[in-house]
Chain A
């Protein structure tokens, strides 16, 4: 706990779940600024539950979560909104918003009681729009966008919220390979160039290995955490799935189907 101040997000012996039902326990990791971290694991192992707990949409069961050195539960809603932004799997309730309107909502934690945008707010919005290649789509309504475009808009909104930490729940589902890579590349760029800490859940383990700085593997036992190459050396990916069906190839960092 000595350098808890330096870490943007850290957990200690975290247990997550619903009420009395424990979904995952012994989750320990800590992330510094400018880190892209992927959370991988089998279906139902608790990736989304973990992300929802980190975003304080549901209470943790045990352990501690620190956000910039302060316990997560000690944050007021407005304080939290300036430290943590989210991209969820659920689509926005109203798809009648234009791209620019939706991204502008990311500035709410900083605007006055009416939500009026200042010059600095507008600059943040423009930066996000440009970073996610949305300039041509500014005035397009969200229901007219493709899945990949909408995902970029939602991430741009999180970027406009200008928080040190961004949480994303399965940002690459429903996308083709090209758009999966595009999204992850943009996230990597956002983490490294803007010094954001970005945590996302994903099923794209091979992409996560190639692009992430850190990976948290939820395996239902001790949940190893570290740089992808360290985890490969320690043979953690092998234990992710039953080996009779698929096997992990440590040389290429990919899974192979057993013939």
Chain B
């Protein structure tokens, strides 16, 4: 709107930070590879130890790329929800969207052993996992949006989101009770959240989903800006409410659902990053915020994953523990500084 030029320097800085976070993330891991060896490896030069080459290109680079997609995509999904719900505390996790995705995934991972009489259902592919999780998140998103039409109160909406979270986790527990140990274990590991161990097919599918979500998001930029005035004003500016609302929901659901399917329910990133981004990019203009939030989310996720790696140790912390440690204080800070709640 006013002066997109003045954020050029911020974009340069944040892009440099992303490159640094990427290299830092790739250079750390259970096997110690010197930083400069990593750097030259990334430049395409052969490495002194051949196993390093394998670790670098077959494990760490795909993992870093996944973290980038997951962080950027979840943050973007959070931004979409905050604008759509006109609510600064909206986000994929808080509104129960991630729980919806969990339910979808749980139904597929554990429900299939439950319904084992249907032989065809026992096949759990990547595509079906992505579809199930996305459907679950769409379902919850649509229900929450329907409720939000009636209830304008910020806090009430959040409590409703939490309740949906409880309902879905209760359903997941019921499923877990009846399922086989093997499926349960698979689900539990999934629910810790992880950006590693994605096969190249899974990674390309995730890339496709995130790209589609980002594309829909870019197409919605003008409508998102109009929604900042409220729905009536948006309508008077020529925005087709129904169509724009659906495109935004589909984009947010695809991003949150698709990412949750592959990386597990990762908490707080979607909620916290748009607010952290506005500390640097003090604007509501979505032409600035959409790329800025994606980049910021990618950086934060890469850093969280780097910490989760516990450099030079074989132990890997669940990524959810790290994102909570980063994200929860942000939410508290938001609530304490009410002024920042003005969205």
Q: What residues make up the interface of A, taking CB atoms closer than 8 Å to B?
A: 55, 57, 77-78, 80-82, 84-86, 88, 90-98, 100-102, 104-106, 108-109, 111, 113-115, 117, 138-139, 143, 161
Contacts and interface: CB of A to CB of B under 8 A. Distances in A.
A86 B221 CA distance: 22
A253 to B, nearest CB: 33
B291 to A, nearest CB: 12
Nearest to B241: A77
A238 B237 CA distance: 39
Given A92-B228, A94-B86, A114-B222, A86 B233 contact: yes
A98 B342 CA distance: 13
Contact of A101 (B1, B86, B230): B1
13 contacts: A55-B236, A80-B236, A81-B236, A93-B229, A93-B343, A94-B228, A98-B1, A104-B2, A105-B225, A109-B238, A113-B222, A115-B222, A115-B287
Nearest to B240: A77
Interface string B164-196: 000000000000000000000000000000000
A198 to B, nearest CB: 15
B228 A105 contact: yes
Given A101-B284, A113-B222, A96 B343 contact: yes
A138 B222 CA distance: 21
A138 B1 CA distance: 12
B202 interface: no
B127 interface: no
B228 A81 contact: no
Contact of A114 (B221, B232, B236, B342): B221
Contacts of B238: 77-78, 80-82, 108-109
A57 B343 CA distance: 25
- Name the residue in A81, A91, A97, A105 with the highest tally of chain B Cβ atoms < 10 Å from its Cβ: A105
A98 B3 CA distance: 11
A101 B283 contact: yes
Interface of B: 1-2, 86, 219, 221-222, 225-233, 235-240, 283-285, 287, 339, 342-343
Contact of A108 (B86, B225, B284, B343): B225
A97 B236 contact: no
Contacts of A100: 1-2
B331 to A, nearest CB: 18
Contacts of A115: 1, 221-222, 225, 287
A102 B240 CA distance: 19
Contacts of B230: 88, 90-93
A92 B342 CA distance: 11
Contacts of B239: 77, 108
Contacts of A77: 235, 238-240
Given A93-B227, A93-B230, A113-B222, A105 B343 contact: no
A139 B282 CA distance: 11
Contacts of B285: 101
Contacts of A139: 2
Given A92-B228, A101-B283, A115-B221, 8 more contacts: A88-B233, A90-B232, A94-B229, A97-B1, A105-B226, A108-B237, A108-B239, A114-B287
